[in-house]
Amino acid sequence: MKWSNVRVEPPTVATHLTVLLSSTARGARLARRLAGQQLAAWGVPYDSETSQAVALVTAELAANAITHGRTAGRDFRLTLLHLPEHGVVHVEMTDTRPGRLPRGPGVVESAATDAVSGRGLLLVAAYAERWGCEVRDAYTKTVWAEVRRPT
């Protein structure tokens, strides 16, 4: 074999990540860690505001997926899309309870001051440029958020 004929292509970095995770606290924790690692692979520093915002949004959406969207024996799906042409990172969390929809982005209510939960979507709304929910089939729903990247 002639080495002069061998061409080595530089590695390419995917602009999306999709992974199935168990509908457990461990799966939600892993979703957050994977988001940070994937952003670092896309060149977003791990300690940047963007990375921290995406990690927080991912953690909140994953927590909701395992708390409100869980069906026994079914996983949830994390999808991250790096959209540099739009200046955003798109986060999707797909769970198996399409009948349990969050209230829309304009209807987020704050929890009682002494409540220990109920503020997750308020945090998502604060850190995301926009967010929403889609039912794409009879078996799943996808809650998504877009976090703006500074230019």
Q: Residue 88: which of 121, 57, 63 has the closest Cα? A: 57
Q: What is the pLDDT of residue 98?
A: 80
- Output the pLDDT for position 101: 75
Ranges of beta strands (E only) in the chain are 16-21, 76-83, 88-95, 130-134, 141-148
Render each residue's pLDDT in the chain as its tens digit; 151 residues: 344 444 445 445 568 999 999 999 999 999 999 999 999 999 999 999 999 999 999 999 999 999 887 778 789 999 999 998 889 999 999 999 888 777 665 555 555 565 555 567 888 999 999 999 999 899 999 999 999 987 6
Tell me phi and psi for residue 88, to 5 degrees: -135, 160
pLDDT value at residue 103: 66
CA distance 61 to 133: 11
CB 91 within 8 A of CB 116: no
Please list, residue by residue across 1-36, b when 16 or more beta carbons sit within 10 angstroms of its beta carbon and e when fewer do. eeeeeeeeeeeeeeeebeeebebeeebbebbbebbb
> Is residue 55 within a helix (H) or strand (E), and if so which, with residue range?
helix 49-68
pLDDT tens, position by position, 83-101: 988 899 999 999 998 887 7
The pTM (predicted TM-score) of the whole model is: 0.81
pLDDT of residue 81: 96
> Two tokens at 116?
């220990």
pLDDT of residue 70: 73
**Domains with residue ranges and CATH for the chain:** 14-100+116-148 (3.30.565.10)
